[in-house]
Structure 1
Amino acid sequence: MPQMAPLLWSSLFVFFLFNLLLFLISTYFLLPPSKMKYNPCSTTYPQKNWKW
């Protein structure tokens, strides 16, 4: 029946969106994005002793 086609595609679309949302949420919480650990104070240059 052609009248049922929009209901079928809309339910499949909702199912797809639900699965996509579930996948994105699970990957975010299981594997959080890595953040750059930038510490400007960690780079210390040794001071040169100019006096002998």
Structure 2
Amino acid sequence: MAPINWLMLFMFFFFMFYLIMNMLFFNFNKNFKIKMNNKNLMKNYNKSI
């Protein structure tokens, strides 16, 4: 019984770690893309003037 409990705990923590890393990674990607788009928009705006 003990090894199964340890395995379940390990799987649970690994799964939570995986979810948190995915959330951080996707949030970082979204923010990075938004910043890049803002820079491009500013460049185009300056060109049009």
TM range, normalised to the smaller chain? 0.5 to 0.7
* 5+ residue gaps, structure 2: 38-49
What is aligned with 2:12?
Answer: 10
| Identical-pair percentage | 18
RMSD between aligned residues? 1.2
What is aligned with 1:25?
Answer: 27
Distance 1:18 1:3 in 2: 23
- TM (normalized to structure 2)? 0.60
- TM (normalized to structure 1)? 0.57
Distance 2:5 2:23 in 1: 29
Q: Which has the larger radius of gyration?
A: 1
Give the residue type in structure 2 aligned to 1:29: N
Give the residue type in structure 2 aligned to 1:20: N
Higher share of residues assigned helix: 2
